[in-house]
Amino acid sequence: SLQGKTAVITGSNSGIGLGVARELARAGADVVLNSFTDRPEDHQLATDLGAEFGVTARYIQADLSNGDQARALIEQAGRCDILVNNAGIQHVAPIESFPVATWDRIIAIMLTSVFHTTAVALPMMRKAGWGRVVNISSAHGLTASPYKSAYVSAKHGVVGFTKVTALETAKEDITANAICPGYVKTPLVEAQIPDTAKEYNMTEQEVIEQVILARQPSKQFATTEQVGGTAVFLCSDAAAQITGTTISIDGGWTAL
């Protein structure tokens, strides 16, 4: 059980981050949810999650494109036994016309913020004598696709940063690993299916198998629960010697 541990999950008011927060809470961890918004429903999400699993759950607003806010998130949490770096955005454009500001923003949110949160969390983990860093990279942290230069660069960068984190903590009861999901069924992905079906004149099932999951041999989405379950495993005693590596949840994508 993760009772008594506090987990901070960045970008966790939706999708994978929320799924990971739910599975960590189910395993008994207190959780800190985060995103860049500060709406009543963000705080309500934490209240509901806390009530559902009988843990302490809080929501802390921080825009992770800003380094000071990334550091303040961990400081405000006060304790961080489990750090899940998950926040991310995507932009698709060829390199020569990729907007410079968008490149900078993607690298800031998805790579530089991981440096900032980790830098503040590691001393807290050392003080507690235990810690787990789980970085949500991607199949795009191990392979590439055209037109996703910033995303692929940030996700590869996260895999490298994870290895350095593991080496700097190797002799302590702290591990750092990256989860590399293929396509995960989130509201964002699901919403694209009907429109794409119309666009290609295909059934929704054909869109899933031939368009969205073209590179995922299982032809099935991974789920946010599966990503969350993998994070819980990485926090378990069974995973204490797993550090500095990646775990793919991609239905065989990177085996191709």
Q: Is 228 in the site for ligand NAD (CB under 6 A)?
A: no
Q: Is 64 in the site for ligand NAD (CB under 6 A)?
A: yes
Query: Are the C-beta atoms of residues 18 and 187 closer than 8 Å to each other?
Result: no
Structure tokens, 184: 């995960």
Q: Is 253 in the site for ligand NAD (CB under 6 A)?
A: no
Exposure string of 42-67, with b = 16+ CB inside 10 Å and e = fewer, is bbebbeebbeebebebbbbbbbbbbe
| Contacting residue, 5, 7, 9, 11, with ligand NAD by CB under 6 A | 11
Shortest separation between residue 214's beta carbon and ligand NAD, angstroms: 13
Residues in contact with 135: Cβ distance below 8 Å, sequence separation at least 6, in sequence order: 84, 85, 114, 158, 159, 161, 162, 176, 177, 178, 179
Q: Is 184 in the site for ligand NAD (CB under 6 A)?
A: yes
Shortest separation between residue 170's beta carbon and ligand NAD, angstroms: 25
| Max CA separation in the chain (angstroms) | 58
| Contacting residue, 6, 65, 230, 246, with ligand NAD by CB under 6 A | 65
Gap between the Cα atoms of 139 and 216, Å rounded: 10
Q: Is 36 in the site for ligand NAD (CB under 6 A)?
A: yes
CB closer to ligand NAD out of 89 and 119: 89
List residues with catalytic annotation.
Answer: 151
Q: Which residues bind ligand NAD (CB under 6 A)?
A: 11-17, 35-36, 63-65, 86-89, 109, 136, 138, 181, 183-184, 186, 188-189
